[in-house]
């Protein structure tokens, strides 16, 4: 889920990739690569939240200071900030130093706000029932509470590792995983709409690839000798968008007769990124960051906005 600042030609939007704050249970594959800032300054890196836990001390390590109260900490940070600024004057272009300085303020703000934001027991019982039981339900309710408090980007993973990567037992595994996510997803969309937040919150749901339409033939030592799984498929798969200026009730494109490859109105990943940036208020051709001697676009030198996806 994400929020963005508007330009003169694009709508105002937040976003919720339904996972900047990263809310998830345990750790996805590739771990911190999923929320690091790449070539952007470190201040844009996501904050790790392990929603496998429910106690605030476990959700965010070292969030509480056992030795000093908030007033004392504020005074310490003010002094530290003055010293850091003095140190920074001779290193004005050091992005890592700037990110480190801002991280202290972020940590302090989290101490002030995190206890409230992550405590779903403060929600009315009927709201908690609407989202249901389980970690995914708690994650998405926390995501809504974070958006309410001004977090601009929330990324949520479903499960630890890569539970949807079913090279065997795909029918039973996907049925179980879909059941875990179905009620909380519907609750999130209804909740955002009831609170008047869906119009400026973009919800993005999907993965980085799909599965083949045919079973995967096992190889010795793999898939436990089963023929009831599916292999990776990057040629044709589905993602959906909701809210945030996305067109409602629209199905875009189609695969071939086998369900294997996109065949109609094909959307490349660069086109998807260009469209998401537009919905967040950015022109992907003008939105650049100077790195390693040249201006980089987040879509590199590719991408076209898919106008049919925009309301």
Over the stretch 108-127, which tens digit does the pLDDT of each residue have? 777 777 778 888 999 999 99
CA count, 13 A, side-chain hemisphere, 150: 4
Name the more confident of 305 and 208.
305
Q: Mean pLDDT, to the nearest integer, of 13-22? A: 49
- Percent of the chain residues past pLDDT 90, beyond the cut: 47
Residue spans of the domains in the chain: they are 2-54+133-309, 61-117
CB neighbourhood size of 134 (10 A): 14
Query: Of 11-20, 135-144, 218-227, 228-237, which gets the smallest average pLDDT?
Result: 11-20
C-alpha distances (whole Å) from 187 to each of 5, 132, 147, 164, 258 are 26, 9, 15, 22, 33
Residue 36 has pLDDT above 50, yes or no: yes
**CA distance linking residue 163 with residue 73, whole number of Å:** 41
Global pTM reads 0.81
Name the more confident of 259 and 292.
259
Pairing of strands 21-24, 154-157: parallel
pLDDT confidence tier of residue 22, bands split at 50, 70 and 90: very low
- Percent of the chain residues past pLDDT 70, beyond the cut: 90
Residue 160 contacts residue 138 (beta carbons within 8 Å): no
- Highest average pLDDT, of 98-107, 169-178, 182-191, comes from 182-191
């Amino acid at each position: 889920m994400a929020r963005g600042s508007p330009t003169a030609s694009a709508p105002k939007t937040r976003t919720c990739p339904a996972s900047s704050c990263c809310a998830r249970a345990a750790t996805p594959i590739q771990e911190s690569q999923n929320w690091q800032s790449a070539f952007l300054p470190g201040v844009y890196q996501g904050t790790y939240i392990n929603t496998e836990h429910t106690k605030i001390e476990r959700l965010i390590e070292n969030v509480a200071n056992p030795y000093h109260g908030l007033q004392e900490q504020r005074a310490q940070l003010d002094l530290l900030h003055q010293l850091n600024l003095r140190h920074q004057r001779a290193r004005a272009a050091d992005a890592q130093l700037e990110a480190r300085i801002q991280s202290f303020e972020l940590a302090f703000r989290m101490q002030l706000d995190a206890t409230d934001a992550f405590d779903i027991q403060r929600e009315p019982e009927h709201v908690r029932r609407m989202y249901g039981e389980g970690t995914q339900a708690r994650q998405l309710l926390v995501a809504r509470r974070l958006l309410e408090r001004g977090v601009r980007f929330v990324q949520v993973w479903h499960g630890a590792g890569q539970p949807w990567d079913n090279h065997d037992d795909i029918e039973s595994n996907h049925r179980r995983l879909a059941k875990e996510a179905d009620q909380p997803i519907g609750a999130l969309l209804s909740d955002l709409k009831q609170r008047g937040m869906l119009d400026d919150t973009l919800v993005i749901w999907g993965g980085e690839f799909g599965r083949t339409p045919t079973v995967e033939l096992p190889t010795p030592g793999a898939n436990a000798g089963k023929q009831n799984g599916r292999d990776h498929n990057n040629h044709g798969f589905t993602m959906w968008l909701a809210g945030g200026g996305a067109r409602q009730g629209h199905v875009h494109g189609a695969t071939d007769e086998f369900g294997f490859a996109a065949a109609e109105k094909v959307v490349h990943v660069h086109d998807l990124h260009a469209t998401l940036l537009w919905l967040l208020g950015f022109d992907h051709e003008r939105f650049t960051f100077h790195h390693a001697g040249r201006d980089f676009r987040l879509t590199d030198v590719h991408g076209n906005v898919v106008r049919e996806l925009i309301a």
